C-alpha cells in the first residue's frame, strides 16, 4: 500500500515582488509502506523544504500530500501522525535522556512496562544506555543526535521523517549504527523519509534515493540504479566517491565496430575506445548516430585491469597511486585525459597498464540536454 | 479578491505613514517661501506668491521686515561654525575611534569590556550634568569660547557612537583574513590598513555620518561653552527670536538651510547608511 | 635531514591543554599529513607553526633555527585556510598577487608569476573576478594559488578540501601532489578524512587529544597501528574489536569471547591472556560454505558503502561483526541461507585490554 504520496508538489518563495524562487518544483513521489527514502542533494536544493512540507511545518504552494491514503494538505503537524527528528535535535533540556525518548510514548496509552522495554530496545540499538539518566546539555553532540534519532524511532507513526539524522555521529560508530538502524526500520516495517547531503549515508540506508538539485527532482531510483543507471550527467557526477569519469566523445560507427573517440577541450583526439558490434545491444546502438558528439561516463570501479587485452587505443600511464587500506585509487593519464579508477587493495599497476572499459558500463548522455541516451551498451 | 483589499489597505497605510512623517518637513519648506504676514494669517493659505526674501536675507546678513526695524543676522557665520565643528569632530573621532574600535573587537584585555561600556555610558548621562563644571574648567584653562573646546566636548557624543558601531563591523571580519594577509608577508599595520579598514568601510561611513548628524544637531554644549562667534546653527537660530518680533519665515528658512548639508551627505552615502545601521543594530 | 623540528611543544587555553608536548621531525620536500578527529588540536598546531599563535613551551625549529617568537610575516611559511580566507574586496588576481607585493617584486614579475600559478591551477579565466563571484572550487584553487605563488619553502594547508564537493575533492587529490612536487615544497597538511590522509601523505602523524599517537607511513599506520585508538580512526567501516582471552595450541590461536571459541589464525607473538582483538571488516571471510575454522553467524543487514558492500552479522554469543567486500564478491553471498565467517590469515591485531596499546 502506498504510504506517502506527493502529487505535483510545489513550493515557491517570493523573495521580492516579482522574483520567485522555486524551492521545490513539481515533485512526485509514491512511497510504499516499509520503504526508506533518502532526499539527497547539496545545500539549497530543496530537500529540507520538501521534508518540512510533508511534516506540515511549511505551507505548500500547490499540489497534494497524502499520508496513509488521507489528504493532509491542511492538517497541522500534530494531526498528521508523523514523527520527526530535527537536524538541531530539539531535545527537551529539562528532561532526562530517558524521558526525552519516552515522551512521545506517554500519550499513546501503553503500559509503563511496554514504554520501558521500547526505550531499552532502542537505546541499546543506538548505544545510549549509559546516558539514559543524564540531561541533554551534558552529553556530546553525537550523543544528542542519537537520542533525537531514538526518540523518533520509538514512536509509532505512519511516517518517520529524519533531517540529517546521522551527520554528527562519531565516524567510528557510523557504519555499525547505520546497519542497525536499517535493520530496526526493516523489522518494524516503518516508512522513512530522511534528508541528507551525504551520499554515502543515502546509499547505505535507503531503498530509494531522490537526487535533487535547485528544486528539481533529478532522479528517483534504488541506490544500485542511481549508481549504475544515472539518468543525467548531474546524477552521474554527483554520486560516487570518487565520482564518475566524464568525458567528451565522438561516435564513429562502421559495419563491424563502434568506436568512441575521446576529445579534449579543443576537440583533438586523446584516445579511443573500440567495441565489436556483435558484443553490443542493437537497440542502444541505434540510439546514437555516426559522428555524434556525446558525453561519456564510466564509473571508476568498473574499469577492468584483469583482462589481458585492452579495448583502448592510446598510451596509458598511472600518475598517482593511492592505497587506502581496503581499495586503491589510481589516477591514469591517457592521451591527455585524466581518469580515476578504483581497484582491489592488492592491485599494483605495471608500467604498461592494460585497461578494459566493459561495454555494459559505458553511460552515454546527450551533449546538450545532458539526459541519458543509454546506461551500458 | 482578498489580495486586492489587502493591497488597497497597504497603500492607505503607506500614505498615512508618509503624510505623518513628511508633513512637518513639507510645511517648513512651504513656510520658508512665505512672508511673515502670510504665515500669520488666521486661515492658512495654500496658494501664495513664493518669495526668496528669507533666503536672500540669510545670505546677506540683514533683512527688513515691514513694520519692524532692519534685523541683522549672523546665520551665515553660524553655518560655517557648524560645518567646522562637525567636520573636525568627526575627523578627530575617526582618528581616535577606529583604532580603538579595532582594539576592542580583536583583543580581549583586562577591563576592556568595562572601558567600552563606560564610554557608551557617556551617551546615557544628561549633558546638563557636566555642563557647569565643564564651563568652569574651560574658563580656567582658557579654552572657553574656542572651536577646540567644543570639538573636544563633542567627542563625548560622537566617540562612543562610532566605537560601538565600528566595533561590530570589525568583529564580523574573520580574523583568518587578517592572518592570511600577514602570512603573505605584510606587517600588522599593513593588514589593518589594507584589509580591516576597507572591509569595515560601510560601518565607518555610516558611523561617521551619524556622528556628523549628532554633532550638527547639538545644542546644549554650544549654547553654554561658546559665544556667538563660534556658535553653530542650532544656537544661532535662537537669535531670530527678538523682543520685537518672531520672524517665522526666516526661522523656517534657517531650518531648511541648516538641514540641507546633512541631508545631502545622507543621500550621498545612503547605501552605506542602511547597511551600517542595520548591522550595527544587530551587533550593538 | 630534518627540516622542521618540533620539540615538546605545548599550548593551553586557560585550563584546556590543547597541545601536550609534541615532538616531530619533518623532512625537506615531504608531504606530511596531520590527521585527527575534530577537537584533537590540529588547527591549533598549524597556527603554532604559522606564528598566529605562540606556544607556551617547547621549540619550533626550521633549519635548526628556533622560530618560536617570529611573527607570521617573518616566517618563510604560507598557509591555505579551511574557510579560504580570501580578501573579499580584492579580485582573484590581487588575492594571488598579495604575497608577491609584500616582497617588492617588479610588476612584470608579479604578473608572470600570478599567471603561471593560475594556469597551473586552471583559474586563469577567473582572475578578474571577486571572491563572491567564484564557485567554491574556484575559491579553493585561488586560496591554494595564493599560498603557492611565492614558492614558500613550507606550505601549511588547513583541511583545504573540506568545503568542496566530492568531484572537486577527487580532482584535487590527483592534482595537488603533482603541483606541489613541481614546487619542491615541504607540505604540512591537515585532514580529518583518513582516506585523504592516506592518499596524499608521505607520512601521517595521528593527533589525538593533543598528542601524536603514531607518526609513520600510511600503510604502516593502517596495518600496524600503535593503539586501538589509531586503528579505529583508520578504516570505514571501523575495525571490529572485542574483548577475548587468548590461548594458543600447537597451530592455532584461539580467542574465547562470551563463551564462544573463535579460531583467529595460526600464530602470534603475544602471550596467552586477556586482550582486545581487532579485525578489519575486509579481513573477514563471509561465505555460505562451512570450513573447519569458520563460525555460524546470523545475517542482519547489508549496506553499500564506498563502492563496497558491508554485511552486519551476529555470532551466537551476541557479538556483532561488520564484513566488507567488493560488489562482485557480494553477489555470491546468499543471505537467506546459513552464513559462516572466518578470519583471514595473519590479519588480527591484538591490543592490551587496559592501555589499548598494540601488543605485537
Whether C244 and C213 map to the same domain: the answer is no
CA distances from B138 to A140, A306, B225, B227 (A): 61, 95, 8, 13
**For position A353, what pLDDT does the model report?**
84
What cell was used for C98?
598579495
Q: Are A132 and A97 in contact (CB under 8 A)?
A: yes
Beta-bridge partners for A275: A258
Above 70 in pLDDT, residue B278?
no
Enumerate residues 176 to 215 of chain C having a beta carbon within 8 A of any beta carbon in chain A. Answer: 177-178, 195, 198-200
Distance from CA of C194 to the nearest CA of B (A): 25
**Across the A/C interface, how many CB contacts are shorter than 8 Å?**
114
pLDDT tens-digit series, residues A226-262: 999 999 999 999 988 888 999 999 999 999 999 999 9
Whether C172 and C299 map to the same domain: the answer is no
CATH number at residue C274: 2.40.50.100
The fraction of chain C above a pLDDT of 70, given in percent, is 100
Q: How far apart are CA A253 and CA A270, in angstroms?
A: 18
Least confident of A206-210, A231-235, B225-229, C233-237: B225-229
Q: Are C312 and A176 in contact (CB under 8 A)?
A: yes
Which of B185, B198, B205 is the best substitution to test chain C (most C C-beta atoms within 10 A)? B185
Mark yes or no for CB contact C89/B181 under 8 Å: no
Q: What is the CATH number of domain A2-238?
A: 3.40.50.300
Beta-bridge partners for A332: A318, A339
Whether C219 and C308 map to the same domain: the answer is no
* Cα of A178 vs its chain's centroid, Å: 14
pLDDT tens-digit series, residues C248-283: 887 788 888 888 888 887 777 888 889 999 999 999
**For position A122, what pLDDT does the model report?**
94
CA distances from C122 to B47, B135, C142, C151 (A): 71, 68, 10, 18
Mark yes or no for CB contact C87/B188 under 8 Å: no
CATH number at residue C191: 3.40.50.300
Query: Could you tell me the pLDDT band of residue B105, with boundaries at 50, 70 and 90?
Result: very high
**Does residue C114 sit at the B interface (CB-CB below 8 Å)?**
no
Is the residue at C356 inside a domain? no
Q: What is the DSSP letter of A300?
A: G
Q: Are A289 and A329 in contact (CB under 8 A)?
A: no
Mark yes or no for CB contact A325/C282 under 8 Å: yes
Query: Could you tell me the pLDDT band of residue B280, with boundaries at 50, 70 and 90?
Result: very low
Distance from CA of C358 to the nearest CA of B (A): 40
CB atoms inside a 10 Å sphere around CB B41: 11
Is the residue at C340 inside a domain? yes
**For position B68, what pLDDT does the model report?**
64
Mark yes or no for CB contact C85/B180 under 8 Å: yes
Beta-bridge partners for A321: A330
> CA C111, C116, C121, C126 torsion: positive or negative?
positive
- Location of each CATH 1.10.3720.10 domain in chain B: 75-230+253-283
CA distances from C301 to A162, A181, C192, C252, C278 (A): 20, 10, 28, 31, 21
**For position A43, what pLDDT does the model report?**
80
**First and final CA of chain C: distance in angstroms?**
30
Average pLDDT, chain C: 90
Mark yes or no for CB contact C73/B184 under 8 Å: yes
pTM attached to this predicted model: 0.83
Query: Could you tell me the pLDDT band of residue B273, with boundaries at 50, 70 and 90?
Result: low
Is the residue at C52 inside a domain? yes
Give the HSE-up count for residue B166: Cα atoms under 13 Å, Cβ half-sphere. Answer: 33
What are the E-state strand segments in B82-239?
none
CB atoms inside a 10 Å sphere around CB C351: 24
Is the residue at C142 inside a domain? yes
Beta-bridge partners for A249: A262, A294
Nearest-by-CA chain A residue for C37: A171
**For position B283, what pLDDT does the model report?**
31
Query: Could you tell me the pLDDT band of residue B282, with boundaries at 50, 70 and 90?
Result: very low
Least confident of A231-240, B236-245, C72-81: B236-245
**Does residue C110 sit at the B interface (CB-CB below 8 Å)?**
no
What cell was used for B164?
560601538
Q: How far apart are CA C190 and CA C204, in angstroms?
A: 10
Count Cβ neighbours within 10 Å for each residue of A244-268 and write b for 16 or more, e otherwise: bbebbbbbebeeeebbbbbbeeeee
Q: Can you list the alpha helix ranges (DSSP code H) found in chain A? A: 47-55, 97-106, 112-125, 141-154, 171-187, 199-205, 223-228, 233-238, 282-285
**For position B248, what pLDDT does the model report?**
84
Whether C196 and C168 map to the same domain: the answer is yes
**For position A119, what pLDDT does the model report?**
93
Q: What is the DSSP letter of A79?
A: G
pLDDT tens-digit series, residues B106-148: 988 888 888 888 888 877 778 788 888 888 888 898 888 889 9
**For position B279, what pLDDT does the model report?**
45
Reading chain A (377 residues) residue by residue, the pLDDT tens digits are: 678 999 999 999 876 666 788 889 999 999 999 999 999 998 888 999 999 999 999 999 999 999 998 999 989 998 898 988 888 888 999 999 999 999 888 877 788 898 999 999 999 999 999 999 999 988 888 899 999 999 999 988 889 999 999 888 888 888 889 989 999 998 899 999 999 988 889 999 999 999 999 899 999 999 989 999 999 999 999 988 888 999 999 999 999 999 999 998 888 899 999 999 988 989 999 999 999 999 999 999 999 988 878 888 888 888 889 999 889 999 998 888 889 999 988 888 887 788 999 999 999 999 999 999 999 98
pLDDT tens-digit series, residues A101-146: 998 888 777 888 989 999 999 999 999 999 999 999 888 888 999 9
- Break chain A into its structural domains and give their ranges: 2-238, 245-375
Enumerate residues 47 to 66 of chain C having a beta carbon within 8 A of any beta carbon in chain B. Answer: 50-52
Averaged pLDDT, B153-169 = 91
Give the phi and the psi of residue C129 in degrees, each rounded to 5.
-105, 155
Is the residue at C296 inside a domain? yes
Chains B and C touch (3+ CB pairs under 8 A): yes
Whether C29 and C166 map to the same domain: the answer is yes
What secondary structure does DSSP assign to C292-310, as a single string? TT-EEEEEEEEEEETTEEE
Mark yes or no for CB contact C103/B174 under 8 Å: no
**Edge-first strand listing for the sheet containing C240-249:** C260-265, C252-257, C240-249, C273-279, C349-351
Q: What residues of chain C lie within 8 A of the CB of B183, using their CB?
A: 50-52, 72-73, 77-79, 99
Query: Could you tell me the pLDDT band of residue C358, with boundaries at 50, 70 and 90?
Result: very high
Q: Are C330 and C322 in contact (CB under 8 A)?
A: no
By Cβ distance, the residue of A186, A241, A325 closest to C198 is: A325
**For position A17, what pLDDT does the model report?**
65
**For position B284, what pLDDT does the model report?**
29
Q: How far apart are CA C292 and CA C63, in angstroms?
A: 59
* Helix/strand/coil percentages in chain C, nearest 5: 30, 35, 35
Domain count across chain C: 2
Q: Which of A357, A205, A215, A213 is nearest to A280 (CA)?
A: A357
What cell was used for C83?
574557510
Place of cell 613550507: C154
What CATH architecture is B75-230+253-283? Orthogonal Bundle (1.10)
What secondary structure does DSSP assign to C201-225, as a single string? -SEEEEEETTEEEEEE-HHHHHHS-
**Does residue A25 sit at the C interface (CB-CB below 8 Å)?**
no
* Beta strand C186-191 pairing with C31-35: parallel
Is the residue at C320 inside a domain? yes
Structure-derived torsion over alpha carbons of residues A22, A28, A32, A38, reported in degrees to the nearest 10: -40
Q: Can you list the alpha helix ranges (DSSP code H) found in chain C? A: 42-50, 92-101, 107-120, 136-148, 166-183, 194-200, 218-223, 228-233, 327-331
Whether C177 and C253 map to the same domain: the answer is no
Which residues have a Cβ under 8 Å from the Cβ of B252 and sit 6 or more positions away?
B28, B29, B30, B31, B32, B34, B54
pLDDT tens-digit series, residues C96-108: 999 999 988 899 9
Distance from CA of A264 to the nearest CA of C (A): 15
Is the residue at C230 inside a domain? no
Q: What is the extent of the structural domain holding C56?
A: 2-224
**Does residue C217 sit at the A interface (CB-CB below 8 Å)?**
no
CB atoms inside a 10 Å sphere around CB B16: 10
Query: Could you tell me the pLDDT band of residue B281, with boundaries at 50, 70 and 90?
Result: very low
Above 90 in pLDDT, residue C22?
yes
* Cα of A349 vs its chain's centroid, Å: 31
Which of C200, C297, C304 is the best substitution to test chain A (most A C-beta atoms within 10 A)? C304
Amino acid at each position: 500500500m502506498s504510504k506517502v504520496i506527493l502529487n505535483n508538489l510545489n513550493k515557491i518563495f517570493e523573495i521580492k515582488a516579482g522574483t520567485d524562487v522555486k524551492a521545490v518544483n513539481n515533485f512526485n513521489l509514491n512511497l510504499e509502506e516499509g520503504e526508506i527514502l533518502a532526499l539527497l542533494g547539496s545545500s539549497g536544493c530543496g530537500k529540507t523544504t520538501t521534508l518540512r512540507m510533508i511534516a506540515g511545518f511549511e505551507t505548500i504552494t500547490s499540489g497534494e500530500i497524502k499520508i496513509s491514503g488521507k489528504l493532509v494538505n491542511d492538517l497541522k503537524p500534530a494531526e498528521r501522525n508523523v514523527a520527526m527528528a530535527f537536524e538541531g535535535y530539539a531535545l527537551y533540556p529539562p528532561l532526562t535522556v530517558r524521558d526525552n525518548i519516552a515522551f512521545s510514548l506517554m500519550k499513546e496509552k501503553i503500559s509503563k512496562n511496554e514504554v520501558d522495554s521500547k526505550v531499552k530496545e532502542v537505546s541499546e540499538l543506538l548505544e545510549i544506555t549509559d546516558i539514559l539518566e543524564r540531561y541533554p546539555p551534558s552529553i556530546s553532540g553525537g550523543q544528542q543526535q542519537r537520542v533525537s534519532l531514538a526518540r523518533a524511532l520509538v514512536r509509532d507513526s505512519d511516517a518517520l521523517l529524519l533531517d540529517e539524522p546521522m551527520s554528527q555521529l562519531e565516524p567510528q560508530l557510523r557504519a555499525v549504527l547505520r546497519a542497525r538502524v536499517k535493520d530496526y526500520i526493516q523489522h518494524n516495517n516503518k516508512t522513512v523519509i530522511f534528508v541528507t547531503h551525504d551520499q554515502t549515508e543515502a546509499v547505505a540506508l535507503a531503498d530509494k534515493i531522490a537526487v535533487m538539485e535547485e528544486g528539481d527532482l533529478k532522479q528517483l531510483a534504488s541506490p544500485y540504479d542511481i549508481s549504475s543507471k544515472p539518468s543525467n550527467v548531474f546524477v552521474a557526477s554527483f554520486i560516487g566517491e570518487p565520482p564518475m569519469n566524464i568525458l567528451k566523445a565522438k561516435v564513429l560507427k562502421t559495419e563491424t565496430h563502434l568506436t568512441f573517440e575521446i576529445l579534449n577541450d579543443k576537440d583533438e583526439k586523446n584516445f579511443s575506445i573500440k567495441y565489436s558490434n556483435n558484443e553490443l545491444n542493437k537497440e542502444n546502438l541505434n540510439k546514437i548516430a555516426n559522428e555524434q558528439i556525446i558525453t561519456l561516463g564510466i564509473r571508476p570501479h568498473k574499469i577492468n585491469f584483469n583482462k589481458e587485452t585492452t579495448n583502448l587505443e592510446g598510451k596509458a600511464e598511472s600518475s598517482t597511486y593511492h592505497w587506502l587500506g581496503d581499495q586503491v585509487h589510481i589516477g591514469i593519464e591517457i592521451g591527455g585525459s585524466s581518469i580515476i579508477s578504483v581497484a582491489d587493495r592488492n592491485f599494483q599497476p605495471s608500467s604498461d597498464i592494460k585497461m578494459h572499459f566493459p561495454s555494459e558500463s559505458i553511460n552515454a548522455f546527450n551533449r546538450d540536454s545532458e539526459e541519458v541516451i543509454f546506461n551500458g551498451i | 479578491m482578498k489580495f486586492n483589499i489587502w493591497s488597497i489597505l497597504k497603500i492607505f497605510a503607506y500614505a498615512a505613514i508618509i503624510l505623518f512623517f513628511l508633513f512637518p518637513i513639507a510645511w517648513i519648506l512651504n513656510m520658508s517661501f512665505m512672508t511673515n504676514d502670510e504665515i500669520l494669517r488666521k486661515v492658512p493659505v495654500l496658494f501664495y506668491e513664493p518669495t526668496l526674501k528669507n533666503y536672500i536675507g540669510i545670505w546677506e546678513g540683514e533683512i527688513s521686515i515691514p513694520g519692524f526695524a532692519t534685523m541683522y543676522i549672523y546665520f551665515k557665520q553660524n553655518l560655517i561654525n557648524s560645518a567646522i565643528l562637525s567636520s573636525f569632530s568627526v575627523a578627530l573621532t575617526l582618528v581616535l575611534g577606529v583604532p580603538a574600535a579595532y582594539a576592542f573587537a580583536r583583543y580581549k584585555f583586562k577591563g576592556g569590556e568595562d572601558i567600552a561600556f563606560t564610554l557608551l555610558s557617556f551617551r546615557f548621562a544628561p549633558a546638563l550634568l557636566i555642563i557647569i563644571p565643564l564651563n568652569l574648567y574651560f574658563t580656567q584653562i582658557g579654552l572657553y569660547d574656542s572651536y577646540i573646546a567644543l570639538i573636544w566636548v563633542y567627542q563625548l557624543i560622537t566617540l562612543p557612537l562610532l566605537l560601538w558601531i565600528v566595533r561590530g563591523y570589525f568583529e564580523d571580519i574573520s580574523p583568518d583574513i587578517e592572518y592570511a594577509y600577514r602570512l603573505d608577508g605584510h606587517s600588522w599595520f599593513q593588514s589593518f590598513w589594507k584589509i580591516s579598514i576597507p572591509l569595515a568601510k560601510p560601518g565607518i561611513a555610516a558611523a561617521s555620518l551619524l556622528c556628523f548628524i549628532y554633532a550638527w544637531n547639538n545644542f546644549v554644549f554650544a549654547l553654554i561653552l561658546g559665544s556667538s562667534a563660534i556658535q553653530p546653527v542650532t544656537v544661532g537660530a535662537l537669535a531670530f527670536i527678538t523682543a520685537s518680533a518672531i520672524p517665522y519665515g526666516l526661522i523656517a528658512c534657517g531650518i531648511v538651510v541648516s538641514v540641507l548639508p546633512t541631508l545631502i551627505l545622507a543621500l550621498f552615502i545612503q547605501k552605506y547608511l542602511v547597511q551600517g545601521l542595520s548591522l550595527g543594530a544587530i551587533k550593538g | 635531514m630534518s627540516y622542521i623540528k618540533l620539540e615538546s611543544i605545548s599550548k593551553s587555553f586557560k585550563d584546556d591543554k590543547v597541545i601536550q608536548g609534541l615532538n616531530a621531525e619533518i623532512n625537506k620536500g615531504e608531504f606530511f599529513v596531520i590527521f585527527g578527529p575534530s577537537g584533537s588540536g590540529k588547527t591549533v598546531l598549524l597556527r603554532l607553526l604559522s606564528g598566529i599563535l605562540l606556544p607556551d613551551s617547547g621549540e619550533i625549529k626550521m633549519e635548526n633555527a628556533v622560530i618560536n617568537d617570529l611573527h607570521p610575516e617573518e616566517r618563510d611559511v604560507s598557509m591555505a585556510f579551511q574557510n579560504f580566507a580570501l580578501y573579499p574586496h580584492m579580485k582573484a588576481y590581487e588575492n594571488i598577487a598579495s604575497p608577491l607585493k609584500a616582497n617588492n617584486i617588479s610588476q612584470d614579475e608579479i604578473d608572470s608569476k600570478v599567471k603561471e600559478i593560475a594556469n597551473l591551477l586552471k583559474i586563469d579565466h577567473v582572475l578578474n573576478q571577486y571572491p563572491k563571484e567564484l564557485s567554491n572550487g574556484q575559491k579553493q584553487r585561488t586560496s591554494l594559488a595564493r599560498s603557492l605563488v611565492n614558492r614558500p619553502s613550507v606550505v601549511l594547508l588547513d583541511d583545504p578540501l573540506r568545503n568542496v564537493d566530492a568531484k572537486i575533492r577527487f580532482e584535487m587529490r590527483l592534482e595537488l601532489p603533482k603541483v606541489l612536487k613541481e614546487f619542491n615544497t615541504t607540505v604540512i597538511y591537515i585532514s580529518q578524512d583518513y582516506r585523504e590522509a592516506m592518499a596524499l601523505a608521505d607520512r601521517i602523524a595521528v593527533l589525538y587529544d593533543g598528542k601524536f599517537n603514531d607518526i609513520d607511513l600510511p600503510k604502516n599506520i593502517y596495518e600496524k597501528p600503535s593503539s586501538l585508538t589509531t586503528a579505529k580512526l583508520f578504516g570505514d567501516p571501523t575495525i571490529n574489536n572485542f574483548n577475548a582471552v587468548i590461548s594458543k595450541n600447537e597451530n592455532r590461536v584461539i580467542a574465547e569471547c562470551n563463551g564462544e571459541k573463535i579460531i583467529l589464525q595460526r600464530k602470534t607473538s603475544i602471550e596467552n591472556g586477556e586482550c582486545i582483538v581487532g579485525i578489519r571488516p575486509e579481513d573477514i571471510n563471509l561465505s555460505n560454505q562451512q570450513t573447519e575454522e569458520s563460525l555460524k553467524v546470523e545475517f542482519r543487514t547489508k549496506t553499500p558503502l564506498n563502492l563496497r558492500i558491508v554485511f552486519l552479522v551476529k555470532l551466537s554469543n551476541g557479538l556483532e561483526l561488520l564484513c566488507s567486500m567488493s560488489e562482485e564478491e557480494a553477489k555470491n553471498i546468499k543471505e537467506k541461507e546459513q552464513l559462516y565467517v572466518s578470519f583471514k590469515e595473519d590479519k588480527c591485531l591484538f591490543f592490551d585490554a587496559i592501555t589499548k596499546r598494540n601488543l605485537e
